Amino acid sequence: GQERSLLVQLTRYGVKQFLIVTRDVTQLEKLETTRKDFVANVSHELRTPLTVLAGFLETVHDMPAPSISDEQREHYYLLMMEQARRMQAIVDDLLTLSTLESSPSGMGEPVRVGDLIETALQQARSLSKDQHVFVVNVNEDLYVAGIESELASGISNLLTNAVRYTPKDGTITVSWYLTEAGTACYSVQDTGIGIASQDIPRLTERFYRVDRGRSRATGGTGLGLAITKHVAMRHNAELNIRSRFGAGSIFSLEFPASRVVTPDDSVA
């Protein structure tokens, strides 16, 4: 329809030669919808903490100077800081995502994944506040070719999620091993709340959360798995999610045999 009316107009203006470009319009429309949803989501995610922050600022401003005690000041400071940190975390994750989307990905260099797991475990343990049992099976000598900072964020995202979505006294099992097929596998298993099968395919969408309230309360931005998915793709790795609602989940990153290297391999 649109193309035809354009042709009619061009003919009217005396244009006799055309270059006709056809393309998959439905694909473009889908992209456009995704883009619009994304902008709407970002706006919404940032607006909530901004509104809360503005509210607290006003409250503090309206308090006459002598009547505000040190405790009150501290109280409002902490509340406002929490909102500022929320926004910071969202913006940081968005920047990470956009870098992942726009920068080229090569093979990287040999990365000692065991070290990254060690660091991620320290963060996870402090987030857990000793409320979970950690079981760790890590092959220290297993290296993959990759980009260290990206691998670090993928590894820690899966681990902090296991802590966030596993109630007190649950067990989190972290493994890093060479499979029989020669691929390298990082897996995080938890005995947590689990995920219903219909939600699993959507988890890597930006800002998708099964339970918005719970994710916010635990400090999640809703972008962790979207980032992890990108990191996986850039390393030709597969992000696998298996879960039973109410029983627990296994998230894994499986790197192809072609990425398994030794520390002295030059892979660039």
Q: List interacting residues with ligand ADP (CB under 6 A).
A: 157, 161-162, 164-165, 190, 192-195, 203, 208-211, 215, 220-226, 249
Q: How far is the CB of 193 from ligand ADP (least distance, A)?
A: 5
Cα 235 from Cα 238, distance rounded (Å)? 9
In terms of CB distance, is 147 or 193 closer to ligand ADP? Answer: 193
Q: How far is the CB of 194 from ligand ADP (least distance, A)?
A: 6
Q: How far is the CB of 225 from ligand ADP (least distance, A)?
A: 3
In terms of CB distance, is 75 or 125 closer to ligand ADP? Answer: 125
Cα 196 from Cα 201, distance rounded (Å)? 10
Give residue number: closest CB to ligand ADP: 220
**Nearest in space to 255 (alpha carbons), one of 188, 187, 204:** 187
Q: How far is the CB of 33 from ligand ADP (least distance, A)?
A: 21
In terms of CB distance, is 183 or 252 closer to ligand ADP? Answer: 252
In terms of CB distance, is 153 or 157 closer to ligand ADP? Answer: 157
Q: Provide the edge-to-edge strand list for the sheet that holds 109-112.
A: 109-112, 143-146, 260-261
* Cα distances (Å, whole numbers) of residue 63 to 27, 49, 73, 79, 185: 55, 21, 10, 16, 57
Tokens of 113: 């994944």
Which run of H or of E encompasses 251?
strand 248-255
In terms of CB distance, is 161 or 252 closer to ligand ADP? Answer: 161
